[in-house]
Homo-oligomer: A and B are copies of this chain.
């Protein structure tokens, strides 16, 4: 089945995303408008410490209107290797540098309207090596034992899809 782009107009250029209005002709011959949040992609990671704890970040997320607990993540800079992004963000957000980084998988967060693809990594063998963080991020870090995480999810205290997806991928990785 072939979908053909017959028109495309960018109506907004923002810091985190652009907005593009596309027209796409489907195999049924009908052309439909599809609004796209154009996003350059991101890398998220589970920083797994020597003691079996995972470092999470807690920050106010204005679009959700609340503070959320999440695995650390960063938006890819233009042309940036997701692996480099992981090391940078791990130093910036958690103050640790990982000696071992393993790709667990990648996924789309909201493929109905956003082009964002996120790569999810396991970051291990962590040692202190902080980098100053972004000015526009007000983040606290919390180490949580793997065994406590299902309880947090069941209680609705961990409600971030990329984090839960990452935990599923980590579990698959550890079982193999």
| Residues of A in contact with B (beta carbons under 8 Å apart) | 1, 3, 11-12, 14-17, 19, 22, 24, 26-28, 32-37, 39, 60-65, 67-68, 70, 105-118, 136, 138, 150, 153-154, 156, 159-162, 164-165, 167-169, 172, 176
Contact = CB atoms under 8 A, between A and B. Distances in A.
The SS class assigned to the A binding surface is: mixed
B63 A160 contact: no
A12 B11 contact: yes
Given A35-B15, A172-B150, A65 B108 contact: no
B160 A108 contact: yes
A113 B27 CA distance: 32
A59 to B, nearest CB: 9
